[in-house]
Structure 1
Amino acid sequence: MVSRRTVVAGAAALAGLSPVGLALAQGKPTQLTLAVIPVENASTTTDRFEPVAKYLSAAIGIPVTLRIANDYAAVIEAQRAGNAQIAFYGPASYARAVMTGVKTEPLVNQRRDTGVNGYHSVLWVRANSPYKTVQDLKGKTLALVDPNSTSGNNAPRFFLSKEGISVDSFFGKTFYAGSHDNSLLSLAQGTADVAATEFQSPTSNTAARLTARGLLKDASGKTLTMDDFRVIYKSPLLPEGPFAVLTSLPADLRQAIKQALLDMPQKDKKTFDGLSDGKDLGFVAVSAADYEPIIGMLQFNDSQRKKQ
């Protein structure tokens, strides 16, 4: 018999059939799970999203349990197996889920302090480095985030390819750091010459969040500030990642979850502000059509890998 609770710790742990999945198959959801990609470290992600799970539980009248996945693929597999009925994705991980047959639909994403519900992929270098353009980075070491990260992998590959730069052959070494925090930490500590992360605005980005908390230190232990980093490349605008739900949920429940999220900035401002340190302006309703360009990006990247 499947145990009543399963701790999510990666794709393998998410793959089995859960009691929630059995209940949903019978049309009787008695509890739900919210799975979240590891954009930041597990502790910070829990601090941001645990209140969201509690808010949703009260708003829809069904207990919602938070699960922080070890990698982006784990969230995809959790939804595929029916073990995560609600998910917070990056745009590329949502697109990959759809491309691989997961029956999930986006509900909302965040409107940033820039006034748009979008962000950029950027390449950071140390401010005291000699690098001035991307061309100066030939043969250097690039820290990426995760294969299913948008700004931390797929967007750099896509947009640099359009400029005639193949990530895999241009850089001397690339590696996946596992999260946006770790990508920038690799740059800070000298294990990478350049790091890919997300960037909403000059005051809302990975470097700004980490330096504000004194969490970026170099190899000698010196605490770094924003003055120690410089953006050397910024991509065109990307859509923010969505909260998404399985289409197997009853339509009225899907709508209730969507409305609860849209209402969160007014009904529970503290929880909403906790997602972005108070920098986001609200949630915006989205549809699958908003992510078609990201599906095209992944299809292009897939086609390029097949040529290698």
Structure 2
Amino acid sequence: MRLRPLALLLTGTLAALSLTACGSGSSSSSSSSSSSDAKSATCPGGRIRFGVEPFEDPAKLTPAAKVLADSLGEQLKCPVQLTITEDYSAEVLALQNGKLDIAMFGPLGYVFAQQRAGAEAVASFGDSTGKVSSYTAGIWVPADSPVQSVKDLAGKSLALSSVGSTSGDALPRKAIVDAGLKPEDVKVNYAGGHAESLLALAKGTVDAAEINSQQQASATASKTFDPARFRKVWASDPIPNDPITVRGNLDPAFKKAVADTLLNLPADKVGQIGALLAVKPAAPLVAVDKSTYQPLFDLAATLHLTDKDL
């Protein structure tokens, strides 16, 4: 499959915004609000709408995200409505149209959320040293493959995760260009997700596949991936982990309350969703801002990906 234009990222998502939440993802709420909640600085609308990009199987992601959402709601004394969005493009549109108050994005998704919706990054997943955690993109091949580098992918098939993914699309595409190849030199197939990309390689339906360090850790732990049978031929520089953002046009007092609360949640309240991002041991969230993700803004510029492409 040829690389699809980024303009397709938001195609078909307008219909998703007709839903009460954002997209067709699952949602849940904590306890009901009171009239006093609706008037408080920490609960201006009687509830907080929290969107999370579906970077993992919703069956695993929803309960993990709910622990974080419920803890946030308890501290702010405001019910949090959690929605696992259909994709990041639906999440960007929902934030832009005021249907979400806070949202967790992949790093590249945040770039477009900042450009389109004024999203402000306030917190991300910390490591054991108190710094923002990170992960890497990777391209893997079978252990006996003749492919030794990205340049050797010419004429080969490569499974990528999904259009717009940081580690599963943009960074591998840049690696292809950096290796001196043209995009059409590699037969790219979008598998539909990180797990699906890994599965395509494991089943032998492609010559190579993107497997990021998070998916590798998860699949190895569940014994669905044996690293000894495969070989990594490329890895990206470290990517700062997913930011939790607030909508830029919200009341400053509310944004500050959300940020302060997130940064003071105990490790066990963020550890379950953090584990899905390969953040172990569990640690508190740490403060981040736009500058933390500057390499991703630079990546979008290098690949000529801007909000005008959406």
TM-score normalised over the length of structure 1 = 0.79
1:184-219 deviations in Å (ceiling 9; x for gaps): 1221122222222322xxxxx2122123123x3xxx
* Equivalence for 1:147: 163
CA–CA distance in 1 between the matches of 2:128 and 2:226?
Answer: 22
* Equivalence for 2:195: 181
Conservation of the 8 A alpha-carbon contact between 1:14 and 1:83 = no
Task: Specify whether residues 82 and 303 from structure 1 end up closer, same or farther in structure 2 by C-alpha distance, changes over 3 A only.
Answer: closer
CA–CA distance in 2 between the matches of 1:247 and 1:283?
Answer: 20
- Shifted more, 275-284 versus 185-194: the winner is 275-284
Which of 118, 122, 139 does residue 107 from structure 1 map onto? 122
**Aligned alpha-carbon RMSD (Å):** 2.8
CA–CA distance in 2 between the matches of 1:210 and 1:145?
Answer: 15
* Equivalence for 1:273: 271
The runs of 5 or more residues in structure 2 that have no matched partner are: 1-11, 23-37
Q: Does 1:206 align with 2:208?
A: no
For residues 140-289 of structure 1, the aligned pairs below 5 Å read 140-166=156-182, 168-171=183-186, 173-199=187-213, 205-214=214-223, 216=224, 224-264=225-265, 266=266, 269-277=267-275, 278-289=280-291
Alpha-carbon deviation of 1:247?
1.6
For residues 37-48 of structure 1, the aligned pairs below 5 Å read 37-48=53-64
The SS at the match of 1:302 is coil
Conservation of the 8 A alpha-carbon contact between 2:150 and 2:176 = no
* Equivalence for 2:51: 35
CA–CA distance in 2 between the matches of 1:282 and 1:146?
Answer: 29
Conservation of the 8 A alpha-carbon contact between 1:11 and 1:75 = no
TM-score normalised over the length of structure 2 = 0.79
CA–CA distance in 2 between the matches of 1:41 and 1:135?
Answer: 32
* Equivalence for 1:5: none
The SS at the match of 2:117 is coil
CA–CA distance in 2 between the matches of 1:91 and 1:57?
Answer: 24
CA–CA distance in 2 between the matches of 1:42 and 1:261?
Answer: 22
CA–CA distance in 2 between the matches of 1:195 and 1:47?
Answer: 29
Q: Which residue type is aligned with residue 120 of structure 1?
A: T
Task: Specify whether residues 18 and 239 from structure 1 end up closer, same or farther in structure 2 by C-alpha distance, changes over 3 A only.
Answer: same
Q: Which residue type is aligned with residue 50 of structure 2?
A: L
Conservation of the 8 A alpha-carbon contact between 2:123 and 2:287 = yes
Aligned length: 273
Alpha-carbon deviation of 1:75?
1.2
For residues 38-77 of structure 1, the aligned pairs below 5 Å read 38-77=54-93
Which of 290, 293, 300 does residue 291 from structure 1 map onto? 293
Q: Indicate the percent of aligned positions where both proteins have the same amino acid.
A: 30
Task: Specify whether residues 51 and 281 from structure 1 end up closer, same or farther in structure 2 by C-alpha distance, changes over 3 A only.
Answer: closer
Task: Specify whether residues 291 and 121 from structure 1 end up closer, same or farther in structure 2 by C-alpha distance, changes over 3 A only.
Answer: same
* Equivalence for 1:4: none
Conservation of the 8 A alpha-carbon contact between 1:142 and 1:175 = yes
1:63-105 deviations in Å (ceiling 9; x for gaps): 1111112222111111111111111111111101223x21210
The runs of 5 or more residues in structure 1 that have no matched partner are: 1-9, 200-204, 217-223
Task: Specify whether residues 19 and 293 from structure 1 end up closer, same or farther in structure 2 by C-alpha distance, changes over 3 A only.
Answer: closer
Task: Specify whether residues 197 and 29 from structure 1 end up closer, same or farther in structure 2 by C-alpha distance, changes over 3 A only.
Answer: farther
Alpha-carbon deviation of 1:18?
5.0
